[in-house]
Amino acid sequence: MELMQHLSDRYDVSITAAILKWLSITDQRAMIVVGKDGFIDWAWSSERLLKSGVFYRARKETIELPAQSLAARQDMSIDSIQGIKHPKGVWNANEEVQEMTIFADQHEMTISLLIYPKDPPLQIYEDDDDGGLEDTYTRFTKFSGSR
């Protein structure tokens, strides 16, 4: 977050604009989440994070800020610029995440920068109840026998 504040000052733009620009060029899995009144107002993911399936559709559904997040707790005893590393289950069920948050009192909102691990977790798919995928031979014989 210190880097984002530096970029904001250097280029005379808002912290939000600096984060959005950084998200558009970074290869890190990261996201900005803007919260208002305890809910996610909007969020934007870096391309790499989006490709790994991590995003919020806050404009299409009402999503509460996670209760254990810095944004929801607004705990001033924690250095919100350095942030806190959350365990799995706070922002994402499958991954730890580093959260850094700025509290904008004049706009009654929070701006959180979430940094995810470099690589997404491996996804393990279990077999379906119907025995899993059909093999090529079974599929071929099913269709060839129907003539």
pLDDT tens, residue by residue, 84-110: 999 999 998 889 999 999 988 777 899
pLDDT tens, residue by residue, 104-137: 877 789 999 999 999 988 765 454 444 555 556 5
Look up residue 5 and give its two tokens.
Answer: 């504040």
- Residue 147 — very low, low, confident or very high, per pLDDT cuts 50/70/90? very low
pTM: 0.78
Q: CATH number for the 2-119 domain, one of 3.40.50, 1.25.40, 3.30.450, 2.20.28? A: 3.30.450
Higher-pLDDT residue of 145, 17: 17
Query: In angstroms, rounded to a whole number, what is the distance separating the alpha carbons of residues 19 and 26?
Result: 10
Q: Which amino acid is at 81?
A: I
Domain ranges, ordered by start, for the chain: 2-119
pLDDT at 144: 54
* Average pLDDT over all residues of the chain: 84
> DSSP of 88-139, one letter per residue?
TTSS-TT--EEEEEEEEGGGTEEEEEEE--SSPPPP-PPPPTT-SSPPHHHH
